[in-house]
């Protein structure tokens, strides 16, 4: 290891020089080591013109569905649910949120190695919102995020915009204790979409392709959201 790297790590400070290709702007920033904090698990929302509410859902953590439903409660026309970067979470939160858009609907199947598959269904205790729906997805939308996306697409509950999802939804994991007291997580059932299609390793395709590029980020554009609003 060279001396400069040793000094950087010893001081716990890193200085970076950044150049933005689109404008040529150069700036220097300093990064200093600090305490790690757990990211707050909460959805965020904003009202858009024309009676549309945008809700960003970072994960299907406990209570996420109710947070989304509360954000959409007074919406008059349509919802844009942004699942980009959503790494998944609880299947129960998925069925609860889907219950706000449909009742009596199969959302997915859990299939054991042998025997019949079990159908998962919408939580029909949730009042229907009666809103048009657009869901934004990307390659970082995985697991329960893909569960939700496939249910929306296969059941015609809304439109998917963005890019194909990650293709990483093998099924709910179960913990197995090993002899050395470590724990191995493995799925006990296989996940299939509402049409009994395989999503794991494949992903959920979108209805309208609208990727976020580096240039879009640099210029403050959001092609996915723009496309969603044009559809609504």
> Using CA atoms, how far apart are residues 145 and 153, in angstroms rounded to an integer?
12
Query: At residue 6, does pLDDT exceed 50?
Result: no
113-150 tens-digit pLDDT:
899 999 999 999 999 999 999 999 999 999 999 999 99
Say if CB 231 and CB 134 are below 8 A apart.
yes
Pairing label, strands 78-82, 52-56: parallel
Domain that holds residue 132: 44-231
CATH number reported for the structural domain that contains residue 200 in this entry: 3.90.226.10
Same domain, 68 and 144: yes
Q: What is the pLDDT of residue 2?
A: 42
21 with 116, same domain?
no
Q: Is the pLDDT reported for residue 159 higher than 50?
A: yes
Q: Is 17 in the same domain as 112?
A: no
Residue 39 lies in a domain: no
- Say which residue the tokens 């706000």 belong to: 100
Task: Judge contact between 206 and 106, C-beta under 8 A.
Answer: no
User: Which comes out higher in pLDDT, residue 126 or 172?
Assistant: 126
- Residue 163 pLDDT > 70, yes or no? yes
The residue among 196, 65, 216, 190 whose CA lies nearest residue 138 is 216
- For 50-67, the pLDDT digits (tens) are 899 999 999 999 999 999
Residues 23 and 82 in one domain: no
The pTM of this model reads 0.84
In a domain, 138, yes or no: yes
Q: Are residues 183 and 149 in the same domain?
A: yes
Domain annotation covers residue 38: no
118 and 138 together in one domain? yes
- Residue 102's SS3 state is coil
The verdict on 18 and 117 lying in the same domain is no
Does the residue 127 lie in any domain?
yes
Domain count, the chain: 2
Please report which confidence band the pLDDT of residue 164 belongs to, taking 50, 70 and 90 as the band edges: very high
Q: Is 37 among the domain residues? A: no
pLDDT band at 10 (very low <50, low <70, confident <90, very high): low
One domain, residues 22 and 101? no
207: pLDDT confidence band, cut at 50, 70 and 90?
A: very high
23 and 51 assigned to the same domain: no
Backbone angles phi, psi at 21, to 5 degrees: -60, -35
Both structure tokens of 38: 């757990």
Residues 23 and 107 in one domain: no
pLDDT at 192 > cutoff 80 = yes
**Would you say residue 152 lies in a domain?**
yes
- How far is residue 116's CA from residue 38's CA, in Å, rounded to a whole number? 40
Residue 75 shares a structural domain with residue 170: yes
14 and 89 both lie in a single domain = no
């Amino acid at each position: 290891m060279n001396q400069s790297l040793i000094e950087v790590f010893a001081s716990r400070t890193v200085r970076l020089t950044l150049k933005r290709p689109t404008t040529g702007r150069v700036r220097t920033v300093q990064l200093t080591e600090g305490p790690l904090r757990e990211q707050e698990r909460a959805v965020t929302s904003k009202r858009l013109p024309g009676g549309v509410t945008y809700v960003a859902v970072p994960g299907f953590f406990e209570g996420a569905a109710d947070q989304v439903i509360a954000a959409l409660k007074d919406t008059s026309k349509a919802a844009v649910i942004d699942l980009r970067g959503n790494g998944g979470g609880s299947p129960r939160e998925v069925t609860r949120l889907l219950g706000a858009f449909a009742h009596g609907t199969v959302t997915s199947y859990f299939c054991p190695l042998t025997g019949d598959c079990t159908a998962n269904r919408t939580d029909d205790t949730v009042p229907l919102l009666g809103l048009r729906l657009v869901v934004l997805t990307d390659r970082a939308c995985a697991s329960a995020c893909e569960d939700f996306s496939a249910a929306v697409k296969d059941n015609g509950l809304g439109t998917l915009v963005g890019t194909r999802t990650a293709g990483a939804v093998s099924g709910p994991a179960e913990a197995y204790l090993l002899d050395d007291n470590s724990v191995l997580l493995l799925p006990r059932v296989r996940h299939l979409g509402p049409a009994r299609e395989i999503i794991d390793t494949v992903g959920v395709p979108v209805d309208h392709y609208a990727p976020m590029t580096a240039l879009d980020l640099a210029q403050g554009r959001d092609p996915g959201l723009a496309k969603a609003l044009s559809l609504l």
